[in-house]
């Protein structure tokens, strides 16, 4: 549906040259929800605005639904943009127009008569849950309701692609969750391809199928959300993931943990479980199979969309050969196993 090839965007100003995007290439399939995450100034807003050519790339190619957007004339580009809807962080509603009239605005601009656009707009208001607000003005709406109007307006032209520019950043957590649920529902009902940029990893975690991590105008990592979450390759991705996955060591353990083996000490290991493995009796299996003691220090289970995943921090004590055999067993059953360090025997329990 969307292919970006060698995308570059350079700004020239009085303070010098700024490279906002450098050699960005990615492919987004029809019907995907594709997340692009990065810190402020990373280039993500520039990237999403290059898709509909609100920002024209300095170099590279943008292909949407088989059309090379960078090769179109201005008239052709205006027509092509009708198939690309966009919603914004600050809603951009017209204060003097009712909800109904705001949603109808792009259709009016296109010359559609009221009798015709009402037939299109009223079902959209029902889709976003605002049928009872059609005659209300934006000042009378909550932030979440305003964003629902923005979504309905973006859908008025029956686009094939919906671009979301920090669409939930101005909303509280509960409202954010409802808007993300709505976007997922729209994706399923309409088969719409959604490209969503954000600086919040929990947004990516909630609804995205694929994710691209951008840093300094370059893509540093791309892949399925589950893969990036569970096996991040870049420091930037790991930093974002820390915000939603609590892998922080208990303070009492951190104080006594050593990076090198401690004579007569115990091994501290973090296990990561994915999918069906979260229901397996792993600890019982270790104790049955090997002559070791296992102390559970901490653990948690969460869900990445419909897939459960969890972490477990454990302390292993016993003969070195038995502990190594236990680690080999954990790796053989496809558990992510990370040796955190070593503690003197009973030191953590005493702490």
Q: What CATH code is carried by the domain that includes residue 316? A: 3.30.70.260
Identify whether the C-beta of residue 349 lies closer than 8 Å to the C-beta of residue 266: no
Task: List, in order, residues 6 or more apart from 116 with CB less than 8 Å away.
Answer: 107
Q: How far apart are CA 3 and CA 67, in angstroms?
A: 10
Q: How far apart are CA 329 and CA 332, in angstroms?
A: 5
Domain boundary among 223, 242, 261: 242
Do 185 and 332 share a domain, yes or no? no
Domain boundary among 242, 270, 303: 242
Domain boundary among 176, 208, 242: 242
CA atoms within 13 A on the CB side of 140: 11
Averaged pLDDT, 100-129 = 92
Q: Between the CA of residue 296 and those of 35, 252, 316, what are the distances in Å? A: 35, 14, 9
In a domain, 247, yes or no: no
Task: Report residue 301 as tokens.
Answer: 């289970």
pLDDT tier, 350 (very low <50, low <70, confident <90, very high otherwise): very low
The whole-number pLDDT of residue 177 equals 93
Residue 275 pLDDT greater than 70, yes or no:
no
Residue 336 pLDDT greater than 70, yes or no:
yes
pLDDT digits (tens, 9 = 90+) for 284-332: 888 888 999 998 888 887 777 777 777 888 999 888 899 999 999 888 8
Residue 349 pLDDT greater than 60, yes or no:
no
Residues forming beta bridges with residue 263, ordered by sequence position = none
The whole-number pLDDT of residue 164 equals 95
Identify whether the C-beta of residue 313 lies closer than 8 Å to the C-beta of residue 256: no
Domain of 124 in residue numbering reads as: 2-242
Percentage of the chain modeled with pLDDT above 90: 58
Residue 347 pLDDT greater than 70, yes or no:
no
Q: Map tokens 């037939």 to a residue.
A: 119
CA 32 to chain centre: 12
- Pairing mode, strands 210-215 and 33-37: parallel
Average pLDDT of the chain to the nearest whole number: 89
The whole-number pLDDT of residue 17 equals 92
The whole-number pLDDT of residue 4 equals 96
Do 231 and 260 share a domain, yes or no? no
The whole-number pLDDT of residue 330 equals 86
Q: Domains in the chain: how many in total? A: 2
Identify whether the C-beta of residue 147 lies closer than 8 Å to the C-beta of residue 90: no
Do 105 and 201 share a domain, yes or no? yes
Do 195 and 54 share a domain, yes or no? yes
Considering the entire predicted model, what is its pTM? 0.83
């Amino acid at each position: 549906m969307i292919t970006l090839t060698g995308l570059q965007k350079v700004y020239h100003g009085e303070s010098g040259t700024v490279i906002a995007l450098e050699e960005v290439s990615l492919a987004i399939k029809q019907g995907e929800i594709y997340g692009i995450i990065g810190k402020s100034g990373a280039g993500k807003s520039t990237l999403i605005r290059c898709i509909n050519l609100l920002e024209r790339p300095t170099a590279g190619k943008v292909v949407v639904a088989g059309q090379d957007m960078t090769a179109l004339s201005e008239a052709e580009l205006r027509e092509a943009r009708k198939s690309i809807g966009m919603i914004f962080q600050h809603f951009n509603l017209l204060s003097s127009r009712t909800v109904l009239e705001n949603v109808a605005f792009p259709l009016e601009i296109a010359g559609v008569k009221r009798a015709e656009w009402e037939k299109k707009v009223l079902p959209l208001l029902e889709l976003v849950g605002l049928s009872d607000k059609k005659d209300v003005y934006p000042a009378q709406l909550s932030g979440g309701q305003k964003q629902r109007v923005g979504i309905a307006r973006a859908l008025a032209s029956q686009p094939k692609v919906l671009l979301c520019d920090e669409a939930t950043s101005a909303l509280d957590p509960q409202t954010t969750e409802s808007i993300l649920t709505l976007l997922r529902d729209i994706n399923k009902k309409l088969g719409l391809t959604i490209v969503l940029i954000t600086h919040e990893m929990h947004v990516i975690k909630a609804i995205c199928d694929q994710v691209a991590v951008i840093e300094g105008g370059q893509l540093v990592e791309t892949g399925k959300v589950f893969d990036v979450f569970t096996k991040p390759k870049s420091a930037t991705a790991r930093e974002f993931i820390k915000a939603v996955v609590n892998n922080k060591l208990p303070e009492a353990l951190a104080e006594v943990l050593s990076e090198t083996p401690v004579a007569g000490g115990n091994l501290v290991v973090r296990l990561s479980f994915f999918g069906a493995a979260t229901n397996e009796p792993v600890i019982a299996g270790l104790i049955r199979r090997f002559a070791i003691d296992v102390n559970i220090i901490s653990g948690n289970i969460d869900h990445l969309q419909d897939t459960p995943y969890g972490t477990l921090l454990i302390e292993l004590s016993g003969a070195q050969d038995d502990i190594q055999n236990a680690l080999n067993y954990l790796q053989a059953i496809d558990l992510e196993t990370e040796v955190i360090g070593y503690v003197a025997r009973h030191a953590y329990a005493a702490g």
